[in-house]
């Protein structure tokens, strides 16, 4: 996380060719993954006779949109997720509360 807000080290160190190479590799990777996604999920089915109709696929739009919005919200406002994760980590580190809860019934 510290690196993501620190600027671009390749540009700051004047390694322009290395930065351009990293950018080109990223773009090519994005392109290839987009092609794989398109062929895997939007390509012609091997069994064309058993294709789902639009009515069967349409209910999947709402959950997909909600998950997308949730992921974007976590990306834009990560503080709430970090707060919950920090509390869970503190409870895992502090064993006395766990031992007390487990041995209370004895």
What are the angstrom distances between the C-alpha of 6 and each of 12, 41, 77?
10, 37, 19
Residue 15 has a CB neighbour count (10 Å cut-off) of 14
DSSP letters, 62-99, are HHHHHHHHHHHHHHH-THHHHHHHHHHHHHHH-HHHHH
7: left (phi over 0), alpha (psi -120 to 50) or beta: left
Q: What is residue 46's predicted lDDT score, i.e. its pLDDT?
A: 59
Q: What six digits make up the tokens of 35?
A: 């092609």
How many CA atoms lie within 13 Å of 99's alpha carbon, on the beta-carbon side?
Answer: 4
Per-residue pLDDT of the chain (106 residues; tens, 9 = 90+): 445 555 667 777 777 888 888 889 999 999 999 999 888 887 766 555 555 555 566 778 889 999 999 999 998 888 989 999 999 999 889 988 888 888 886 6
Q: What is residue 2's predicted lDDT score, i.e. its pLDDT?
A: 47
Q: Is the pTM of this model over 0.75?
A: no
Q: What is residue 1's predicted lDDT score, i.e. its pLDDT?
A: 43
């Amino acid at each position: 996380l510290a690196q993501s807000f620190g600027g671009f080290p390749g540009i700051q160190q004047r390694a322009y060719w290395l930065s351009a190479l990293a950018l080109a590799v990223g773009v090519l990777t994005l392109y290839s993954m987009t092609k794989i996604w398109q062929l895997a999920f939007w390509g012609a089915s091997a069994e064309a006779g058993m294709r789902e109709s639009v009515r069967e696929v349409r209910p999947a739009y709402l959950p997909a949109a909600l998950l997308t919005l949730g992921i974007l919200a976590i990306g834009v406002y990560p503080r709430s997720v970090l707060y919950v994760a920090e509390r869970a980590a503190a409870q895992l580190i502090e064993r006395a509360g766990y031992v007390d809860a487990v041995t209370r019934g004895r």
